[in-house]
Chain A
Amino acid sequence: MMVWIVLLAPLWGGFILGAERKIRAHMQHRMGPPLLQPFYDMAKLMQKRTTIIHSGHALLALGYFVTLWIAVGVVLLDGNVLWAIFIHLLASVLLVTAGFSVPSIFSHVGANRELLAIVSYEPILLLLGVAWYVSSGSWESGAIALGGTYWTSMPLLGVALLMVVLLKTGKSPFDMAHAHQEIVGGVEVEYSGIFYEVLYMARFLEYIFIYAFVFLWGGVVAVALFFVLANLIDNATARLTPAQTVRWFYALGLPLALLNLLGLVA
């Protein structure tokens, strides 16, 4: 079953994104777009004429998408959690390289913010992996899942993970990397047509990747809870600046993760 989830990952991610847009619209007393809206967008983007800046720029977007898919495969198909985190890091670095490879100021600002985002969430994800190793004795995601849920042993890491979910899925207090009306989408500003579609589907994969971590932490209940909570927080808060975002992660997220890890070891 997991193989099918990995092979059709963009499809499931599209459904998740569609459901999210629907839920967010209902939270704002709107009807919202239909559930299949991400797929309509994809069909539209396939029809548009594609303009590329240079081939390397377009290729890096493809590389980002494929690498991210591999990371999703590693975490879902009983792979090493550390591998998944670092392959995901490689994918993000490809995206940052793409952002710096074009002479566009918004693209550069977006790439800078992407780097700041990596600096913010990466230590927490690594500490989460270490905490799983400490409590279940294995780096493999299958063994971690068999070790039960971690609601009681890692509550503080759960809070930190919620912050990472907000950042990775581009939710409001921490959405500085993809700030749409501020830096016009950041790294994705120079993409159009089929290559923007690749980035659009990569966003679905980011959802699957980070919610796979949530699933490992607390099962299906945690995924549903984090999904609703993330959208609630997104609707209720305003965007923080990049410096404030990094400060939040290093002043709240990282200490919480470290405290929890110390508690597990002691």
Chain B
Amino acid sequence: MKWFRQWAQKSPWILHYNAGSCNGCDIEILAALGPDYDLERFGVLNRGNPKQSDIFLVTGPVTYRSRERLVELYTQIPEPKVVVAMGACTATGGVFRGMYNVEDGIDTYIPVDVYIPGCAPSPQLLIDGMAKALEIWVQKSRDIEKPHRLFGGIRKTLHYLDRRTMAQTLAQSKEKEPQ
């Protein structure tokens, strides 16, 4: 699957979720998808469907009413998936931190892979964050493949035996070495 993996990382589809943002970050996302920055040249598409998305792009401090939907959307994205928290509010709660209806950032509910700082982050920062998210995504898809390696147990045993023989031979040869 190594051959496919090279191709697969060129097609990250994002699911954009607004968890109570002031729309500043959302406008920056639209600017990044527009003609000036053109995220689509990296194959990025804004899908709006969790079942077909790879990157979960969240904006806004999680409000009390949006937290259930946040977790539900996260669970609906099939693996491998990457969560990107865009903006200061999404990372820590930002200027809304400590308010009675705000849950202070999405990492209270779901694991986050990339934090993009700024209020609102510039499209350049968003593109940087996407590049970082792609790295993590490739690593995650590699990790998913690991348990499926055929004859993994046999290879491991052979490897162990081989190492033991080598260690013995080395010890013997060291004994034989003239001082």
Contact = CB atoms under 8 A, between A and B. Distances in A.
Interface of A: 21, 25, 28-34, 37, 39-41, 43-51, 180-181, 184-185, 189-193, 196
Contact of B41 (A33, A185, A189): A33
A113 B151 CA distance: 50
**Majority secondary structure of chain B interface residues (helix, strand, loop or mixed):** loop
A31 B38 contact: yes
Interface of B: 1, 4-5, 7-13, 34-35, 38, 40-43, 47-49, 51-52, 54, 78-80, 141
A46 B4 contact: yes
Given A40-B11, A43-B4, A48 B54 contact: yes
A47 B10 contact: no
A21 B11 CA distance: 14
B19 to A, nearest CB: 18
A193 B4 contact: no
A40 B80 contact: no
B4 A189 contact: no
A254 to B, nearest CB: 34
Contacts of A39: 7
A182 to B, nearest CB: 9
Contacts of A190: 51
Given A25-B40, A30-B41, A51 B11 contact: no
A72 B11 CA distance: 28
Given A44-B54, A47-B80, A37 B48 contact: no
B10 A37 contact: yes
A189 B42 CA distance: 24
Contacts of B12: 44
B7 A43 contact: yes
Contact of B52 (A29, A37, A181, A191): A191
Contacts of B47: 180
Closest 5 CB pairs of A and B: A43-B7, A192-B51, A49-B78, A44-B8, A44-B11
